[in-house]
A and B are shown apart, each in its own frame.
Chain A
């Protein structure tokens, strides 16, 4: 790769999907638009892999958009954490879209496929933009790009419930975005800059001022809403449950993770560890919410009949794990939180993809209908079981690695109770996972399950790739936990 091209990688990361999105409308024909969008996603993934390689080798990359120098122009800034998020978001985006065609045919009218592709690419653009930018206002812009497109994507769901679900998400998401915007506005008012690094330098001078505290509050609540931190999670279960299968898989794997990334960026890179955690005690506020989220959402998940809804509640619980890791504000805790971003993205993405296979053959994701499905769809359900083991945190799956770090973090701080609660919570996961496994493999088949066939290979292969990756990253952790450790250290060091 030429030097010149390599220098432009950061902007290409965002511009490629951004420009491809309207092209989808021009292409319009179904047979063209899906392969085109898939190709674009894989290209984006390739770019992110190169970026990660560069960052791991040469350290932080700073890119001046349009050649305008940093405090005035928009800066794209890629450190280990950002590159890590870019890789898994773009990777999952590509994999999900590769899996999508058969499922889309079944769930979305063919005449709207070009719209789906446009929205999907916009959503990818937004999520990648959030991760890559070093500019506060730019974060808000990309957040809205991804959010607006995901409202529309969810509304594409075939059932009527998809519309209220999308509307609920729209209302809650907008409140969250507004809070974030207010927070950013107040900070701009205080410091006169929007560049993150610049602001991190100027903030200490005005930290005591009440405006800074108010900004901090608005941002925390806004981001908590976006990442569905308990008790601000109410928009999530319906949105995930009634969205088209493909959309559920993509959004569940990426959207909330990117919001957690925003939390990390604001609280550590901009406000700084000392202000957020030592002065304001953010950790003490987040930890109880995280633990409550883990327990309440896992318990609610146990009682769901709709398996997609169950997975959605499980997502709320898993967000709790990530936030718990962050709330320790130690290297181990952060590593656990960050590596769980990645691991859970793989696991939940894979599980929702398996549910897409079930939806295709069964036209239902009801637990009762799935009775005995292990016989008709052994590969799909085996994949599901594998992902389930990851959710529980069985050793040799990715979920175990995250949990191991989190327990370490708790024990390092002598909070035995948190360690015990963490372990007990995996038992709740065991219950809701095992309910499905037992129903699918050991119960008499339902009428629909008897007639079902195995899902097509075009869907099974991507599902297995993602869930196979959960086992791979449960054993070879150099590129998950290893990178997460680097990212955590970088985040703790602060920006400049």
Chain B
């Protein structure tokens, strides 16, 4: 399959949506209809790209020639970006449904600004997914940071402003100080910034410099939340829950690990990393974050904060997959982008539903809540099991491949890390729904009567929970989509 593919539509559709949402701000029903229509349109377009990728084509679009020296903004479709675009655009629709229930149920202010920024963020996420070179990726990475700032500071309270400042501060600092430097350095070393199979840096510099460059890339991508640049993620939890759900479980954080994955596969190249061994330290850094993130999560009583630290831990699975730099690792890590997205967004949806329906944010207050919110709590359990990696849920496959990758690389230690992490996940996630169903409220009062969240919310979280199960059976298709990443 060849010919021109108008990839830029993936940017134009959400952007046009943002403009229309702003114009129709006065009529909430029309505004929300525009959001949903845009979401459906975008997903339809992204899905229509799938046959190209499966046929092995990598169509590209030159957006603009930026500098006379050959630097340009380019979009190019490839398997990893395809997966990320599908996940982000698909979950956007679900999140929009959920937002309608949440924002109205909660009577939030500035809803038009909220939906506009949301659409712009999705546009930026699409740009990250389809970026054809590092500069384009960097551009949309920054747009994503800036467009999500108003979402994080949405409540406008002192606490929200502080959290948003931490968010912006860490993300921009790392990206400007490290990532941009890495991009510029790559340009000087390789003379190109294009993503190419097999990488562009092989033979361009000594190992020491490549090692430094990899470190700059990894810590410059603050969105991947590798410790110690993870602090922005818990800080961002001051945002309304739909934001935490889509952006801080899917779009923003996945844009981070996606960047690292792209850099490893298309800038360094797997061969370069395995022959020089410059990514070994990254395995240890990721392994540390996996364990430490889980341990910190256990100590959190605020549900959203616990989920945030759980995300920190889970993101490093993907970084670990990239650092292993073999086919299993890369496929497992990339697959985890999708699997973790469905699992974690379900958990966040549940957290938001509990907040809207029962006004509870602390885990210790949630005992006995299962009677009142059985659907939500059941979905929570499914999401939790998927994050843990229990069959028949999607998360089990990505962990399986990651473990294979670790064995393949001869790093038995990291198989152990994955197992220990799963145990920790069980320890901090499973008790929440279990106690909700089988314990009585802590203050000894009667369990509350049935009172679920708004229908939009419940529908959304049921859908993503079912998605976790469906993905288990679709793993083979995802695998076939991703396996070209391993080289060949």
With a 10 A CB-CB cut-off, give which of A389, A393, A408, A476 has the most chain B CB atoms. A408
Q: Which residues of B contact A152 (CB under 8 A)?
A: none
Instruction: Say whether, besides A408-B187, A408-B188, A401 and B67 are in contact (CB < 8 Å).
Output: yes
Q: What residues of A have a CB within 8 angstroms of the CB of B184 in the complex?
A: 404, 407-408, 411, 419
Specify which of B153, B173, B187 is in contact with A442 (CB 8 Å cutoff): B153
- Residues from chain A with Cβ under 8 Å of B66 in the complex: 401, 475, 477
Task: Pick out which of these stretches binds chain B: A167-175, A263-271, A422-430.
Answer: A422-430
B185 within 8 A of A: yes
Q: Encode contact with A along B153-182: 1 for CB under 8 Å, 0 otherwise.
A: 100100001000100100011001100110
Residue among A430, A475, A477, A481 making CB contact with B176, cutoff 8 Å: A430
Determine if A395 is an interface residue (Cβ-Cβ < 8 Å).
Answer: yes
A27: interface (CB < 8 Å): no
Cross-chain contact B142 with A395 (CB below 8 angstroms): yes
Closest to A412 in B: B188
Given A396-B139, A478-B68, decide whether A411 and B177 contact each other with a Cβ distance below 8 A.
no
- What B residues does A476 contact at CB under 8 A? 64
Task: List residues of A whose CB falls within 8 A of some B CB.
Answer: 389, 392-396, 401, 404, 407-408, 411-412, 419-420, 423-424, 426-427, 430, 434, 438, 442, 475-478, 481-482, 485
Cβ 8 A contact of A427, one of B64, B142, B177: B177
Specify the chain A residue showing the minimal Cβ separation from B168.
A434
Are A426 and B176 neighbours in the complex by a CB distance under 8 Å?
yes
Q: Which of A419, A427, A485 contacts B181 (CB 8 A)?
A: A419
Is there contact, CB below 8 Å, between A427 and B173? yes
| A485 CB contacts on chain B under 8 angstroms | 68
Fill in one digit per residue for B252-282: 1 if any A CB lies within 8 Å of its CB, else 0: 0000000000000000000000000000000
Confirm or deny: B401 has a beta carbon within 8 angstroms of a beta carbon on chain A.
no
A481 touches B146 (CB 8 A): no
Once A423-B181, A427-B177 are accepted as A-B contacts, the answer to whether A442 and B161 lie under 8 Å apart by CB is yes
Chosen A-B contacts, 13 in total, with CB atoms closer than 8 Å, are: A392-B176, A395-B135, A395-B142, A401-B66, A404-B184, A408-B184, A427-B177, A430-B176, A442-B156, A475-B66, A476-B64, A477-B67, A478-B68
| Distance, CA A107 to CA B172, complexed state (A) | 39
Q: Which of the listed residues B135, B153, B177, B181 has the most CB atoms from chain A within 10 Å of its own CB?
A: B181
CA gap between A411 and B190 in the complex, in Å: 13
A-B contact count (CB 8 A): 62
Which residues of A sit under 8 angstroms from B188, Cβ to Cβ?
408, 411-412
A232 to chain B, nearest CB (A): 29
Q: What are the 7 closest A-B residue pairs judged by CB atoms, nearest first?
A: A395-B139, A407-B184, A411-B188, A482-B68, A423-B177, A426-B176, A475-B64
B177:A424 contact, CB within 8 angstroms: yes
Q: Which residues of B contact A393 (CB under 8 A)?
A: 176
Q: Give CA–CA (A426, B142) in the complex, Å.
A: 14
Given contacts A395-B139, A408-B187, A408-B188, A427 and B176 within 8 Å (CB-CB) = yes
| Known contacts A395-B135, A475-B64; is-contact A438 B173 (Cβ 8 Å) | no
Tell me what chain B mostly uses at the interface: helix, strand, loop, or mixed.
helix
Query: Would B181 and A420 count as touching, CB distance under 8 A?
Result: yes
Which chain A residue shows the least CB distance to B113? A441
| Chain A positions within 8 Å of B185 at CB level | 411, 419
Q: B138 on the interface (CB 8 Å rule)?
A: yes
Contact check, A430 vs B177: say whether CB atoms are below 8 A apart.
no
Chain B residues whose CB sits within 8 angstroms of the CB of A423 once the complex forms: 176-177, 180-181
Q: Is the CB of A407 within 8 A of B177?
A: no
Q: Which residues of A contact B135 (CB under 8 A)?
A: 395
| Residue of A392, A396, A424, A438 touching B161 (CB-CB under 8 A) | A438
Complex contact B139–A404 (CB within 8 A)? no
B-side contacts of A420, CB under 8 Å: 177, 181
Q: Which residues of chain B come closer than 8 Å to A430, judged between CB atoms?
A: 172-173, 176
Which B residues are CB-close (under 8 A) to A419? 181, 184-185
The answer to whether B67 touches A481, judged by C-beta atoms less than 8 angstroms apart, is yes
Interface residues on B, range: 20 to 34
Q: How far is the CA of A281 from the CA of B350 in the complex (A)?
A: 66
Please indicate which of the listed interface residues B64, B146, B165, B176 has the most CB atoms of chain A within 10 Å of its own CB. Answer: B176
Q: Is the CB of A407 within 8 A of B181?
A: yes
Nearest A residue to B139, CB-CB: A395
Taking the closest CB of chain B, its distance from the CB of A311, in whole angstroms, is 20
CB distance from B159 to the nearest CB of A (A): 13
Residues on B with beta carbons closer than 8 Å to the beta carbon of A407? 180-181, 184
Min CB distance A147 to B, Å, is: 35
Complex: A481 Cα to B143 Cα, angstroms: 23
Min CB gap A399→B, angstroms: 12
- How far in angstroms is the closest Cβ of chain B from A330? 13
Q: Beyond A419-B184, A430-B176: 15 further Cβ-contacts under 8 Å? A: A395-B138, A395-B142, A407-B180, A408-B184, A408-B188, A412-B188, A419-B185, A420-B177, A420-B181, A423-B181, A424-B177, A426-B176, A442-B161, A482-B68, A485-B68
B156, chain A: closest CB distance, angstroms = 6
- Give the one of A395, A419, A477 with max B CB within 10 A: A395
Cβ–Cβ < 8 Å partners of B73 in chain A: 475
User: Which residues on A sit within 8 Å (CB–CB) of B180?
Assistant: 407, 423
**Which residues of A lie under 8 Å from residue B139 when comparing CB positions?**
395-396
Question: How many Å lie between the Cα of A485 and that of B165 in the bound state?
Answer: 38
Known: A412-B188, A430-B172, A482-B68. A394 touches B146 (CB 8 A): yes
Q: Is the pair B68, A477 in contact by a Cβ cutoff of 8 Å?
A: yes
Q: Which residues of B contact A434 (CB under 8 A)?
A: 168
B residues in contact with A475, CB < 8 Å: 64, 66, 73
Question: Interface digits, B369-410 against A, CB 8 Å rule (1 contact, 0 not)?
Answer: 000000000000000000000000000000000000000000
A431 nearest in chain B by CB position: B169
> How far does the Cβ of A276 sit from chain B's closest Cβ, in whole Å?
26
Q: Could you tell me the distance in whole angstroms from the C-beta of B223 to the nearest C-beta in chain A?
A: 16
In the assembled complex, which residues on chain B have CB atoms less than 8 Å from the CB atom of A396? 139, 143
Is there contact, CB below 8 Å, between B67 and A404? yes
Return A182 CB to nearest CB of chain B, in Å.
Answer: 40
| A481 and B68 contact, Cβ closer than 8 Å, known pairs A411-B184, A434-B168 | yes
Task: Give min CB distance, A463 to chain B, whole Å.
Answer: 21
| Closest beta carbon of chain B to A121's beta carbon, Å | 35
Closest beta carbon of chain A to B174's beta carbon, Å: 10
B residues near A442, Cβ cutoff 8 Å: 153, 156, 161
With a cutoff of 8 Å between Cβ atoms, the chain B residues found around residue A412 in the complex are: 188
Shortest beta-carbon distance from A474 to chain B in Å: 9
Q: Mark B177-203, 1 if CB is under 8 A from A, else 0.
A: 100110011011000000000000000
Which residues of chain B have C-beta atoms less than 8 A from A482's C-beta? 68
Q: Whole-angstrom distance between the alpha carbons of A419 and B68 in the complex?
A: 21
Assembly CA distance A412 to B168 (angstroms): 30
A468 to chain B, nearest CB (A): 16
Shortest CB distance B439–A (Å): 41
User: In whole angstroms, what is the CA distance A464 to B143 when docked?
Assistant: 21
B-chain residues with CB within 8 Å of residue A477 when the two chains form the complex: 66-68
Min CB–CB distance A148 → chain B (angstroms): 39
CB-CB nearest in chain A for B189 = A411
In the complex, what's the smallest C-beta–C-beta distance from B436 to chain A, in angstroms?
36
Q: Chain A residues with Cβ under 8 A from B176's Cβ?
A: 392-393, 423, 426-427, 430
Listed residue (A412, A419, A424, A442) with the most chain B CB atoms within 10 angstroms of its CB: A442
B68, B139, B168, B172: which has the most chain A beta carbons within 10 Å? B68
CB distance from B164 to the nearest CB of A (A): 8
Nearest A residue (CB) for B141: A395
Q: Considering the chains assembled together, what is the distance between the CA atoms of A389 and B64 in angstroms?
A: 20
Across the interface, which residues of A come within 8 angstroms of B173, CB to CB? 427, 430
Q: Which residues of A contact B172 (CB under 8 A)?
A: 427, 430
Residue of B nearest to A483 (CB): B68
CA of A424 to CA of B64, assembled, Å: 28
Inside 8 A of A481's CB, which chain B residues have their CB? 67-68
Instruction: Report the bound CA distance from A238 to B146 in whole Å.
Output: 33
- Per the bound structure, the CA–CA distance linking A482 and B67 in Å amounts to 8
Minimum distance in angstroms from A175 CB to a CB of chain B: 38
Within 8 A of A (CB), among B48-73: 64, 66-68, 71, 73
Bound complex: CA of A396 vs CA of B140, how far in Å? 10
